[in-house]
């Protein structure tokens, strides 16, 4: 049987599986792959010809076994995940849930993220949002989008430079913030929402709140 191979450990340089894996249930697949890894020599390769859904499903399954991904799979995972994460961070409004999902996949697959390039991609997105807000400081949805995108920085395993967004924050707090604070009476819900978003931006940037 595929999960009980009659061979010694590290006996083969290559194993070929053709249209077999899809016949096995989940437990049998795990046992079969463990057997393959047992009889493969160091640097050996496992070739699988089968049909099914995305390759990532197989990669996730292999990673769940607690063994290193085959070299070709690991290289593909690194290329694909870094590319997808970069494209998400370059969007006008990155999806936080999607970013966290991609980072989780990278961790599961043991993929090294290209921190410098990814950090720069998010930095450019933040600076683009900050530039738009500089032109339209009264745009509450835009301010909220900047807050949400800045919140991502706290969740990422790499550094992102924030000095331009911090400069905008101080400018908004010094000028528009004072004007909004004066207008934030009981009847001005818009002013209160704007001030709340500005405070959240300060929290995300780790800026001390204004003393009263």
- Give residue-wise pLDDT tens across range 164-179: 889 888 888 887 666 6
- Residues 184-189 have a mean pLDDT of 64
In whole angstroms, give the CA distance from residue 118 to residue 127. 14
Structure tokens at 106: 């990278």
pLDDT tens per residue across span 13-33: 988 887 777 677 777 887 888
For position 27, what pLDDT does the model report? 78
User: CA-CA distances (angstroms) from residue 82 to 18, 85, 103, 154, 194?
Assistant: 31, 5, 9, 19, 35
For position 128, what pLDDT does the model report? 93
What is the separation, in whole angstroms, between the first and last Cα of the chain?
Answer: 75
Contacts of 49 (CB under 8 A, 6+ apart): 16, 17, 18, 19
Write down the pTM of the prediction: 0.63
Whole-number average pLDDT of the chain: 80
- Helix, strand, coil distribution of the chain in percent, nearest 5: 65, 10, 30
SS3 state at 40: strand
Structure tokens at 63: 């990673």
User: CA-CA distances (angstroms) from residue 30 to 4, 23, 58, 135, 155?
Assistant: 12, 13, 11, 57, 32
Question: Which residue reads 């992102």 in tokens?
Answer: 160
């Amino acid at each position: 049987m595929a999960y009980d191979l009659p061979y010694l450990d590290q006996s083969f340089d290559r194993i070929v599986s053709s249209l077999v894996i899809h016949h096995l249930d989940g437990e049998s697949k795990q046992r079969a792959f463990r057997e393959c890894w047992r009889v493969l020599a160091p640097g050996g390769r496992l070739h699988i010809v089968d049909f099914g859904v995305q390759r990532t499903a197989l990669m996730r399954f292999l990673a769940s076994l607690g063994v290193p991904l085959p070299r070709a799979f690991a290289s593909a995972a690194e290329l694909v995940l870094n590319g997808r994460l970069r494209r998400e961070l370059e969007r006008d409004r990155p999806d936080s849930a999607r970013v966290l999902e991609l980072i989780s996949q990278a961790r599961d697959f043991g993929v090294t993220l290209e921190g410098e390039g990814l950090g720069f991609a998010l930095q450019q997105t933040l600076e683009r949002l900050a530039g738009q807000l500089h032109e339209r400081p009264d745009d509450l949805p835009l301010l909220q989008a900047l807050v949400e995108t800045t919140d991502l920085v706290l969740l990422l395993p790499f550094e992102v430079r924030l000095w331009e967004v911090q400069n905008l924050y101080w400018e908004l707090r010094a000028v528009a913030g004072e004007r909004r604070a004066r207008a934030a009476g009981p009847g001005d819900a818009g002013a209160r929402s704007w001030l709340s978003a500005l405070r959240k931006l300060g929290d995300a940037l780790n800026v001390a709140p204004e003393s009263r």
